[in-house]
Structures are given as structure tokens and as C-alpha cells.
């Protein structure tokens, strides 16, 4: 059903890792490299156990700007579920993390999931362009969850 091909609006950036005697530094995003509509309004960090997946789910209005920098390695799954998109029904699978740090911009309407395919706890940063549950956490969560649907078309390994 899905075609393995690039998805319109998804931006994958290989992140530079700058190391010295103190350790290392990675710039995960810069406002001057993002369209204003994708500027982050909050951030969070999650840790995912080895061989565990998060998602698939999608957002109606929210874009996610993920940072996969390690430790561990992740497989990221993206499906274009936007009926008006020129890349509707395209699917992308990206590997990122400790050995290949990347940021991935996921626009609204792109179903996404990621799985820690490594053997250690893995960290993911996210800089979404909408507040979780809106101002003061008083709004409905902007998520359409697919992971609990046994008949979902959005399958991960």
C-alpha cells in the first residue's frame, strides 16, 4: 500500500558532533534554519528502553522536531497520511542515533513512530511547535493514536 519514497515536508538533517577533551556538543536545531511555522514552543526529552517502540501516531496541527543523538540507535518510521499531499501514501524509514545523529522535522499529518533498535536505553529530544494540551494544559491532546489498533495500516518491524 505504501511506497518507500521521500515525503514532502519531512526534513532530515545530519547533525554535526563537536568533540574535545571536555566531551561533545551537538546543535539539535536553529531557528534560522526553520520556517517560522515550525519554530518550537516547548521541548522535552524521553528515554526509551531497548527494543521498545513509541507510536505510531499523528498530529492534526502539531509538527515535531525530533533529535536522535544517542545513546543507542533508533529506527524512525514515517507515513504520509495527508490526502492532499503530492507524496500521499509514501513511507520513509530512517536510522539515527549515537553513530548517526540526526534531527527529523515531522509536519502535521505525517504518521510517525520510532523504535530503539539498540541494546541500551535511548534518548530522544523533541521541540514541537505547539504546547502539549495547549496553554495551561487545558485543551484536548492533538494526537491520533494508531498503536493500539490491531488493524492499523501503519506497521513497524
Compute the distance between CA of residue 18 and CA of residue 151 in angstroms, rounded to an integer: 44
Q: Which pLDDT score, from 0 to 100, does residue 82 have?
A: 97
In the chain, the number of structural domains is: 1
Q: Is residue 142 part of a domain?
A: no
Cα dihedral across residues 129, 104, 21, 99: positive or negative: positive
Q: Is residue 27 part of a domain?
A: yes
Q: Is residue 64 part of a domain?
A: yes
Q: Which pLDDT score, from 0 to 100, does residue 1 have?
A: 87
Q: Is residue 145 part of a domain?
A: no
Q: Which pLDDT score, from 0 to 100, does residue 157 have?
A: 81
Instruction: Give ∠ CA 82-109-10 in degrees, rounded to 5.
Output: 95
Q: Is residue 110 part of a domain?
A: yes
Q: Which CATH number do you get for residue 49?
A: 2.60.120.10
Cell of 64: 515535531
Q: Is residue 70 part of a domain?
A: yes
Whole-structure pTM over 0.75, yes or no?
Answer: yes
Q: Is residue 108 part of a domain?
A: yes
Compute the distance between CA of residue 121 and CA of residue 152 in angstroms, rounded to an integer: 27
**Which tens digit of pLDDT belongs to each residue from 81-109?**
999 999 999 999 999 999 999 999 999 99
**Containing structural domain, residue 53:** 3-132
Q: Is residue 100 part of a domain?
A: yes
Compute the distance between CA of residue 82 and CA of residue 86 in angstroms, rounded to an integer: 9
Amino acid at each position: 500500500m505504501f511506497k518507500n519514497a521521500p515525503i514532502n515536508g519531512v526534513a532530515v538533517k545530519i547533525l554535526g558532533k563537536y568533540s574535545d577533551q571536555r566531551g561533545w556538543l551537538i546543535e539539535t536545531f536553529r531557528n534560522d534554519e526553520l520556517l517560522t511555522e515550525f519554530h518550537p514552543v516547548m521541548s522535552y526529552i524521553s528515554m526509551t528502553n531497548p527494543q521498545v517502540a513509541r507510536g505510531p501516531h499523528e498530529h492534526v496541527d502539531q509538527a515535531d522536531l525530533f533529535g536522535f543523538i544517542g545513546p543507542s540507535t533508533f529506527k524512525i518510521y514515517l507515513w504520509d497520511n495527508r490526502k492532499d499531499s503530492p507524496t500521499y501514501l509514501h513511507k520513509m524509514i530512517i536510522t539515527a542515533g549515537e553513530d548517526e545523529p540526526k534531527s527529523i522535522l515531522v509536519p502535521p499529518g505525517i504518521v510517525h513512530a520510532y523504535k530503539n533498535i539498540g541494546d541500551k536505553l535511548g534518548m530522544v529530544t523533541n521541540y514541537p511547535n505547539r504546547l502539549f494540551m495547549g496553554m495551561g494544559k487545558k485543551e484536548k491532546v492533538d494526537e491520533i493514536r494508531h498503536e493500539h489498533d490491531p488493524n492499523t495500516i501503519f506497521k513497524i518491524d
